[in-house]
Amino acid sequence: MSDEERTAEAPVTGQGRMDVAWGANTGDEHPEQAQTANTAQSGEIFEQRYTPWSGQLNPRWMRNWSILRHHLLGVFRKGHRPWTMPTRIFILIAFLASLADAGMTLLSGLVGSAEFHALFGVSRDNLYGHVLGFFPRNVLYYPIVAALLVGGVISEDRQHGTSALYFSRPVSRFDYVGMKFLSVAMIQAIVVLITYVLYFLAEVVAYGRGWAWMVDIFPMFLAGMLAGALLIITYTSIGLSLSSVSTGRFFPGIGLLAIVFGTKTLASIVKNLFDRELLYLISPYDCVAHVGQAIIGTQTTYDQYSWTYSLVALIAMNAVALYVLASRVASMEVTRE
Protein backbone atom coordinates (compact mmCIF):
# COMPACT_ATOMS: atom_id res chain seq x y z
CA MET A 1 0.00 0.00 0.00
CA SER A 2 1.45 3.37 -0.99
CA ASP A 3 1.71 6.38 1.31
CA GLU A 4 -1.06 8.19 -0.63
CA GLU A 5 -3.54 5.31 -0.15
CA ARG A 6 -2.63 5.00 3.54
CA THR A 7 -3.11 8.75 4.02
CA ALA A 8 -6.49 8.70 2.23
CA GLU A 9 -7.83 5.88 4.46
CA ALA A 10 -6.51 7.29 7.73
CA PRO A 11 -5.50 10.94 7.54
CA VAL A 12 -2.66 11.97 9.83
CA THR A 13 -3.99 14.25 12.55
CA GLY A 14 -1.09 14.13 15.01
CA GLN A 15 -3.24 12.17 17.47
CA GLY A 16 -3.42 8.51 18.28
CA ARG A 17 -5.67 6.15 20.24
CA MET A 18 -4.38 3.73 22.82
CA ASP A 19 -6.51 0.93 24.34
CA VAL A 20 -5.68 -0.12 27.85
CA ALA A 21 -5.35 -3.85 28.36
CA TRP A 22 -6.53 -3.69 31.95
CA GLY A 23 -7.39 -1.04 34.47
CA ALA A 24 -5.75 -0.07 37.72
CA ASN A 25 -8.70 -1.02 39.92
CA THR A 26 -9.31 -4.33 41.59
CA GLY A 27 -12.48 -4.88 39.54
CA ASP A 28 -10.34 -6.52 36.84
CA GLU A 29 -10.41 -9.64 38.94
CA HIS A 30 -14.09 -10.17 37.98
CA PRO A 31 -14.64 -11.80 34.57
CA GLU A 32 -17.45 -9.51 33.53
CA GLN A 33 -15.32 -6.44 34.18
CA ALA A 34 -12.18 -7.90 32.60
CA GLN A 35 -14.02 -8.32 29.29
CA THR A 36 -14.42 -4.58 28.91
CA ALA A 37 -11.22 -2.66 28.15
CA ASN A 38 -10.89 0.88 29.23
CA THR A 39 -10.03 3.42 26.61
CA ALA A 40 -7.41 6.01 27.52
CA GLN A 41 -7.55 9.56 26.41
CA SER A 42 -5.89 10.45 23.14
CA GLY A 43 -2.23 11.52 23.33
CA GLU A 44 -0.08 13.63 21.06
CA ILE A 45 2.60 11.97 18.92
CA PHE A 46 5.33 14.40 17.92
CA GLU A 47 7.66 13.92 15.01
CA GLN A 48 11.36 14.24 15.91
CA ARG A 49 13.84 15.32 13.31
CA TYR A 50 17.63 15.55 13.67
CA THR A 51 19.02 18.81 12.39
CA PRO A 52 22.82 18.81 12.04
CA TRP A 53 24.67 21.70 13.61
CA SER A 54 25.76 24.15 10.93
CA GLY A 55 27.92 26.41 13.11
CA GLN A 56 31.69 26.77 13.17
CA LEU A 57 34.05 24.99 15.55
CA ASN A 58 36.33 26.98 17.76
CA PRO A 59 39.84 27.28 16.36
CA ARG A 60 42.47 24.78 17.38
CA TRP A 61 44.29 27.15 19.70
CA MET A 62 41.11 27.80 21.65
CA ARG A 63 40.48 24.09 22.21
CA ASN A 64 44.07 23.65 23.35
CA TRP A 65 43.79 26.69 25.59
CA SER A 66 40.76 25.17 27.31
CA ILE A 67 42.81 22.08 28.23
CA LEU A 68 45.76 24.18 29.40
CA ARG A 69 43.54 26.50 31.42
CA HIS A 70 41.74 23.56 33.01
CA HIS A 71 45.00 22.24 34.50
CA LEU A 72 46.95 25.44 35.05
CA LEU A 73 44.34 27.63 36.71
CA GLY A 74 43.24 24.77 38.95
CA VAL A 75 46.26 25.46 41.13
CA PHE A 76 45.08 28.98 41.91
CA ARG A 77 41.27 28.91 41.96
CA LYS A 78 38.24 26.66 41.85
CA GLY A 79 36.23 25.77 38.78
CA HIS A 80 39.11 24.01 37.01
CA ARG A 81 41.11 20.86 37.70
CA PRO A 82 40.65 20.04 41.40
CA TRP A 83 44.26 19.82 42.57
CA THR A 84 44.43 18.50 46.11
CA MET A 85 45.13 20.89 48.95
CA PRO A 86 48.42 19.15 49.96
CA THR A 87 49.66 19.65 46.39
CA ARG A 88 48.82 23.36 46.47
CA ILE A 89 50.39 23.81 49.89
CA PHE A 90 53.62 22.07 48.91
CA ILE A 91 53.90 24.08 45.69
CA LEU A 92 53.58 27.27 47.75
CA ILE A 93 56.17 26.03 50.26
CA ALA A 94 58.58 25.06 47.47
CA PHE A 95 58.10 28.44 45.79
CA LEU A 96 58.84 30.37 48.98
CA ALA A 97 61.76 28.12 49.89
CA SER A 98 63.27 28.59 46.43
CA LEU A 99 63.35 32.34 47.12
CA ALA A 100 65.82 31.82 49.97
CA ASP A 101 68.77 32.85 47.79
CA ALA A 102 66.95 36.01 46.73
CA GLY A 103 66.28 36.86 50.37
CA MET A 104 69.90 36.25 51.30
CA THR A 105 71.04 38.43 48.40
CA LEU A 106 68.85 41.27 49.64
CA LEU A 107 70.21 40.77 53.14
CA SER A 108 73.80 40.84 51.90
CA GLY A 109 73.08 44.13 50.14
CA LEU A 110 71.73 45.61 53.36
CA VAL A 111 74.68 44.34 55.43
CA GLY A 112 77.24 45.27 52.79
CA SER A 113 79.41 42.20 53.33
CA ALA A 114 81.48 40.95 50.39
CA GLU A 115 81.91 37.52 51.97
CA PHE A 116 78.16 37.20 52.44
CA HIS A 117 77.58 38.21 48.83
CA ALA A 118 80.10 35.61 47.64
CA LEU A 119 77.98 32.90 49.26
CA PHE A 120 74.59 33.94 47.89
CA GLY A 121 75.08 36.61 45.20
CA VAL A 122 74.88 36.06 41.46
CA SER A 123 77.84 34.03 40.17
CA ARG A 124 78.27 30.96 38.00
CA ASP A 125 78.56 28.59 40.94
CA ASN A 126 75.54 30.10 42.68
CA LEU A 127 73.46 29.98 39.51
CA TYR A 128 74.17 26.28 39.20
CA GLY A 129 73.30 25.77 42.86
CA HIS A 130 70.12 27.81 42.58
CA VAL A 131 68.71 25.78 39.69
CA LEU A 132 70.39 22.37 39.85
CA GLY A 133 71.70 22.13 43.41
CA PHE A 134 71.03 18.66 44.77
CA PHE A 135 70.42 19.88 48.30
CA PRO A 136 67.90 21.12 49.08
CA ARG A 137 66.28 21.80 45.71
CA ASN A 138 66.54 18.41 44.03
CA VAL A 139 66.06 16.56 47.28
CA LEU A 140 63.14 18.45 48.82
CA TYR A 141 61.59 20.72 46.19
CA TYR A 142 61.67 20.00 42.49
CA PRO A 143 61.25 16.19 42.23
CA ILE A 144 58.47 16.17 44.84
CA VAL A 145 56.64 18.99 43.06
CA ALA A 146 56.91 17.07 39.78
CA ALA A 147 55.74 13.86 41.46
CA LEU A 148 52.67 15.58 42.93
CA LEU A 149 51.79 17.10 39.57
CA VAL A 150 52.15 14.07 37.30
CA GLY A 151 50.35 11.72 39.69
CA GLY A 152 46.93 11.79 38.06
CA VAL A 153 47.24 13.97 34.97
CA ILE A 154 46.81 11.08 32.51
CA SER A 155 46.23 8.08 34.77
CA GLU A 156 42.96 9.49 36.10
CA ASP A 157 41.74 9.98 32.53
CA ARG A 158 42.27 6.27 31.96
CA GLN A 159 40.67 5.35 35.27
CA HIS A 160 37.55 7.51 35.12
CA GLY A 161 37.06 7.57 31.36
CA THR A 162 37.68 11.32 31.13
CA SER A 163 39.42 10.70 27.82
CA ALA A 164 35.94 10.40 26.29
CA LEU A 165 35.43 14.11 26.98
CA TYR A 166 38.57 14.91 25.01
CA PHE A 167 38.58 12.48 22.11
CA SER A 168 34.84 12.70 21.41
CA ARG A 169 35.53 16.30 20.46
CA PRO A 170 37.87 17.60 17.76
CA VAL A 171 40.96 17.28 19.99
CA SER A 172 43.82 15.27 18.54
CA ARG A 173 45.95 13.04 20.71
CA PHE A 174 48.99 15.16 19.90
CA ASP A 175 47.23 18.25 21.24
CA TYR A 176 46.05 16.27 24.25
CA VAL A 177 49.59 15.18 25.16
CA GLY A 178 51.06 18.57 24.32
CA MET A 179 48.71 20.50 26.57
CA LYS A 180 49.10 18.02 29.42
CA PHE A 181 52.89 18.27 29.08
CA LEU A 182 52.82 22.05 28.88
CA SER A 183 50.52 22.35 31.89
CA VAL A 184 52.78 20.32 34.17
CA ALA A 185 55.90 22.05 32.82
CA MET A 186 54.48 25.53 33.36
CA ILE A 187 53.53 24.82 36.96
CA GLN A 188 57.06 23.56 37.59
CA ALA A 189 58.43 26.64 35.82
CA ILE A 190 56.67 28.82 38.39
CA VAL A 191 58.74 27.15 41.11
CA VAL A 192 62.02 26.79 39.18
CA LEU A 193 62.28 29.60 36.62
CA ILE A 194 60.18 32.37 38.18
CA THR A 195 62.21 32.15 41.39
CA TYR A 196 65.35 32.19 39.24
CA VAL A 197 64.27 35.47 37.63
CA LEU A 198 63.40 36.94 41.03
CA TYR A 199 66.87 35.95 42.22
CA PHE A 200 68.42 38.12 39.51
CA LEU A 201 66.04 40.97 40.28
CA ALA A 202 67.06 40.80 43.94
CA GLU A 203 70.69 41.25 42.88
CA VAL A 204 69.77 44.28 40.78
CA VAL A 205 67.73 45.86 43.57
CA ALA A 206 70.18 45.12 46.39
CA TYR A 207 73.30 46.40 44.62
CA GLY A 208 71.84 48.85 42.14
CA ARG A 209 73.21 47.06 39.10
CA GLY A 210 73.09 49.07 35.89
CA TRP A 211 72.48 48.18 32.28
CA ALA A 212 76.15 47.40 31.68
CA TRP A 213 76.11 44.70 34.36
CA MET A 214 72.84 43.25 33.05
CA VAL A 215 74.14 43.10 29.47
CA ASP A 216 77.35 41.46 30.67
CA ILE A 217 75.54 38.90 32.79
CA PHE A 218 72.75 38.16 30.29
CA PRO A 219 74.44 35.15 28.56
CA MET A 220 74.98 33.55 31.97
CA PHE A 221 71.35 34.26 32.82
CA LEU A 222 70.16 32.50 29.64
CA ALA A 223 72.44 29.54 30.39
CA GLY A 224 70.79 29.11 33.79
CA MET A 225 67.33 29.37 32.21
CA LEU A 226 68.26 26.64 29.70
CA ALA A 227 69.57 24.40 32.48
CA GLY A 228 66.34 24.86 34.41
CA ALA A 229 64.30 24.11 31.28
CA LEU A 230 66.22 20.83 30.78
CA LEU A 231 65.42 19.86 34.35
CA ILE A 232 61.71 20.60 33.90
CA ILE A 233 61.45 18.79 30.55
CA THR A 234 63.21 15.69 31.89
CA TYR A 235 61.13 15.38 35.04
CA THR A 236 57.91 16.06 33.13
CA SER A 237 58.55 13.55 30.36
CA ILE A 238 59.50 10.77 32.79
CA GLY A 239 56.59 11.56 35.09
CA LEU A 240 53.96 11.66 32.33
CA SER A 241 55.24 8.42 30.83
CA LEU A 242 54.72 6.76 34.22
CA SER A 243 51.29 8.37 34.50
CA SER A 244 50.28 7.03 31.08
CA VAL A 245 50.96 3.40 32.06
CA SER A 246 49.08 3.67 35.36
CA THR A 247 45.46 4.05 36.43
CA GLY A 248 46.10 5.71 39.79
CA ARG A 249 47.86 8.67 41.36
CA PHE A 250 50.24 6.77 43.62
CA PHE A 251 52.43 4.85 41.18
CA PRO A 252 53.51 7.73 38.87
CA GLY A 253 54.60 10.00 41.74
CA ILE A 254 56.42 7.29 43.67
CA GLY A 255 57.92 5.94 40.47
CA LEU A 256 59.37 9.33 39.53
CA LEU A 257 60.90 9.80 42.99
CA ALA A 258 62.29 6.26 42.90
CA ILE A 259 63.93 6.85 39.51
CA VAL A 260 65.47 10.19 40.48
CA PHE A 261 66.65 9.25 43.97
CA GLY A 262 67.32 5.57 43.30
CA THR A 263 69.62 6.09 40.32
CA LYS A 264 71.38 8.96 42.12
CA THR A 265 71.96 6.84 45.22
CA LEU A 266 73.12 3.80 43.25
CA ALA A 267 75.56 5.86 41.19
CA SER A 268 76.93 7.52 44.34
CA ILE A 269 77.49 4.15 46.02
CA VAL A 270 79.35 2.78 43.00
CA LYS A 271 81.41 5.98 42.83
CA ASN A 272 82.44 5.75 46.49
CA LEU A 273 83.19 2.00 46.42
CA PHE A 274 84.83 1.54 43.05
CA ASP A 275 85.71 5.09 42.01
CA ARG A 276 83.68 4.72 38.81
CA GLU A 277 81.26 7.38 37.59
CA LEU A 278 79.79 5.42 34.69
CA LEU A 279 76.47 4.77 36.46
CA TYR A 280 75.85 8.50 36.65
CA LEU A 281 74.75 8.16 33.03
CA ILE A 282 71.57 6.35 34.16
CA SER A 283 70.70 9.07 36.66
CA PRO A 284 68.39 11.78 35.25
CA TYR A 285 69.50 14.33 37.81
CA ASP A 286 73.24 13.75 37.27
CA CYS A 287 72.89 13.94 33.49
CA VAL A 288 71.01 17.23 33.79
CA ALA A 289 73.54 18.50 36.34
CA HIS A 290 76.52 17.59 34.16
CA VAL A 291 75.01 19.24 31.08
CA GLY A 292 73.98 22.24 33.20
CA GLN A 293 77.52 22.67 34.47
CA ALA A 294 78.79 22.76 30.90
CA ILE A 295 76.10 25.23 29.81
CA ILE A 296 76.57 27.63 32.72
CA GLY A 297 80.35 27.32 32.59
CA THR A 298 80.99 26.39 36.21
CA GLN A 299 83.53 23.83 37.36
CA THR A 300 82.36 20.29 36.65
CA THR A 301 82.05 17.64 39.34
CA TYR A 302 82.14 14.74 36.86
CA ASP A 303 85.74 14.16 35.84
CA GLN A 304 85.85 10.72 34.27
CA TYR A 305 83.84 11.43 31.12
CA SER A 306 82.76 14.33 28.95
CA TRP A 307 79.48 16.18 29.34
CA THR A 308 78.52 15.10 25.82
CA TYR A 309 77.96 11.56 27.15
CA SER A 310 75.52 12.98 29.66
CA LEU A 311 73.80 14.92 26.88
CA VAL A 312 73.38 11.75 24.79
CA ALA A 313 72.05 9.86 27.83
CA LEU A 314 69.67 12.72 28.60
CA ILE A 315 68.31 12.72 25.05
CA ALA A 316 67.87 8.94 25.20
CA MET A 317 65.96 9.15 28.49
CA ASN A 318 63.56 11.77 27.19
CA ALA A 319 63.13 9.92 23.88
CA VAL A 320 62.21 6.65 25.62
CA ALA A 321 59.85 8.43 28.03
CA LEU A 322 58.11 10.33 25.24
CA TYR A 323 57.80 7.17 23.15
CA VAL A 324 56.09 5.34 26.01
CA LEU A 325 53.83 8.35 26.57
CA ALA A 326 52.88 8.61 22.90
CA SER A 327 52.22 4.89 22.48
CA ARG A 328 50.06 4.68 25.57
CA VAL A 329 48.01 7.75 24.69
CA ALA A 330 47.55 6.38 21.17
CA SER A 331 45.97 3.25 22.68
CA MET A 332 43.50 5.19 24.85
CA GLU A 333 39.88 4.69 23.94
CA VAL A 334 36.94 6.99 24.41
CA THR A 335 35.47 4.70 27.04
CA ARG A 336 36.48 3.82 30.56
CA GLU A 337 39.36 1.35 30.66
Same domain, 95 and 8: no
Q: How far lies 286's CA from each of 18, 174, 263, 266, 291, in Å?
A: 80, 30, 9, 12, 8
pLDDT the model gives residue 188:
97
Mean pLDDT of the chain: 86
Same domain, 21 and 154: no
Mean pLDDT (whole number) for 212-236: 96
Same domain, 39 and 64: no
37 pLDDT tier (thresholds 50, 70, 90): very low
pLDDT tens track for 127-150: 999 999 999 999 999 999 999 999
Higher model confidence: residue 21 or residue 51?
A: 51
Same domain, 37 and 135: no
Q: How is residue 27 annotated by DSSP?
A: G
Residues in the chain: 337
Same domain, 17 and 114: no
Domain that holds residue 174: 60-330
Count of structural domains within the chain: 2
Same domain, 137 and 240: yes
The pTM (predicted TM-score) of the whole model is 0.82
pLDDT the model gives residue 45:
61
pLDDT the model gives residue 156:
86
